[in-house]
């Protein structure tokens, strides 16, 4: 490819900020695309790791249909990702994005003073490379990684501040490890990028592929 263009199919500000910072001084043409309402309902009958991978696949199929083969100026690569927080007590229960303050508080209390896993699955879509072929002409591979995050005990004052700030909104598990959660949460195993929303193995593959 003479000029490489990457489309990140995600509305996540955290994902966008992370990859734009990494590629800021490169010649890669980075664009963003919002998928719309393509969030599969978590299935508590399977492991959270598989739920994450399934959601990523659903998103990949959705974005592939929005960039059909034959269109002019298709991106060289498309990235799509999904992230879920695993309940500390049940590897089949995902703690999703809280819908209101009550659920946010309940989720944070559940994680307080404990360790939990965060799973991210990321797909790289390419017209030429990939083990999985879609009907739209795109091919893809999916990588899935987990990291372990440890929370300090959250006291009442901090809990009140977190809920009032709405830092939980739109965040799996109700927290943003690159935001307010920096003061009480840390990655104790794995890569921080997995917690921020990308499979670490997928990012290594991406950077190898673009020669970055």
* Percent of all residues in the chain with a pLDDT value above 90, rounded to a whole number: 81
In this structure, how many other beta carbons lie within 10 angstroms of the beta carbon of residue 138?
25
Residue 29 near residue 4 (C-beta atoms within 8 A): yes
Q: What is the DSSP code string of 64-98?
A: HHHS-TT-TT--SEEEEEEEEEEETTEEEEEE---
pLDDT value, residue 170:
87
Domain that holds residue 132: 5-209
CATH of the domain at 176: 3.90.950.10
Alpha carbons 87 and 61: distance in angstroms, whole number: 27
Q: Which positions ≥6 away from 71 have C-beta within 8 Å?
A: none
Q: What is the pLDDT of residues 76-123, one digit of tens each?
A: 999 999 999 999 999 999 998 899 999 999 999 999 999 999 999 999
Alpha carbons 174 and 162: distance in angstroms, whole number: 9
pLDDT value, residue 68:
79
3-state secondary structure of 168: coil
What is the CA angle 207-33-22, rounded to 5? 30
Q: What is the mean pLDDT of residues 131-160?
A: 96
pLDDT value, residue 38:
64
First to last CA, the chain: 14
Q: What is the pLDDT of residues 13-29, one digit of tens each?
A: 899 999 999 998 888 99
pLDDT value, residue 1:
45
Q: Is the model's pLDDT at 72 over the cut of 80?
A: no
Q: What is the pLDDT of residues 158-208, one digit of tens each?
A: 999 999 999 999 899 999 999 999 999 999 999 999 999 999 999 999 999
3-state secondary structure of 8: strand
How many structural domains is the chain composed of? Answer: 1
10 Å CB burial of residue 74 (0-12, 13-18, 19+) is middle
What global pTM score does this model have? Answer: 0.91
């Amino acid at each position: 490819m003479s000029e490489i263009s990457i489309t990140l199919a995600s509305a996540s500000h955290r994902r966008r900020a992370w990859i734009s910072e990494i590629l800021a001084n490169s010649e890669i043409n980075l664009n963003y695309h919002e998928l719309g309402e393509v969030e599969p309902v978590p299935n508590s009958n399977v492991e959270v790791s598989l739920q994450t991978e399934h959601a990523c696949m659903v998103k990949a199929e959705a974005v592939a249909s929005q960039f059909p083969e034959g269109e002019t100026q298709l991106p060289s690569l498309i990235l799509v990702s999904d992230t879920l927080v695993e309940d500390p007590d049940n590897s089949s229960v995902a703690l999703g994005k809280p819908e209101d303050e009550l659920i946010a508080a309940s989720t944070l209390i559940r994680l307080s003073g404990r360790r939990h896993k965060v799973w991210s699955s990321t797909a790289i879509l390419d017209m030429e490379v990939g083990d999985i072929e879609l009907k739209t002409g795109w091919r893809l591979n999916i990588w899935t990684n987990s990291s372990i995050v440890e929370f300090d005990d959250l006291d009442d004052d901090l809990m009140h501040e977190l809920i009032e700030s709405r830092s939980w909104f739109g965040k799996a598990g109700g927290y943003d490890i690159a935001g307010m959660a920096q003061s009480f949460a840390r990655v104790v195993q794995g890569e921080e990028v997995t917690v921020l929303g990308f499979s670490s193995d997928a990012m290594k593959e991406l950077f190898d592929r673009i020669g970055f």
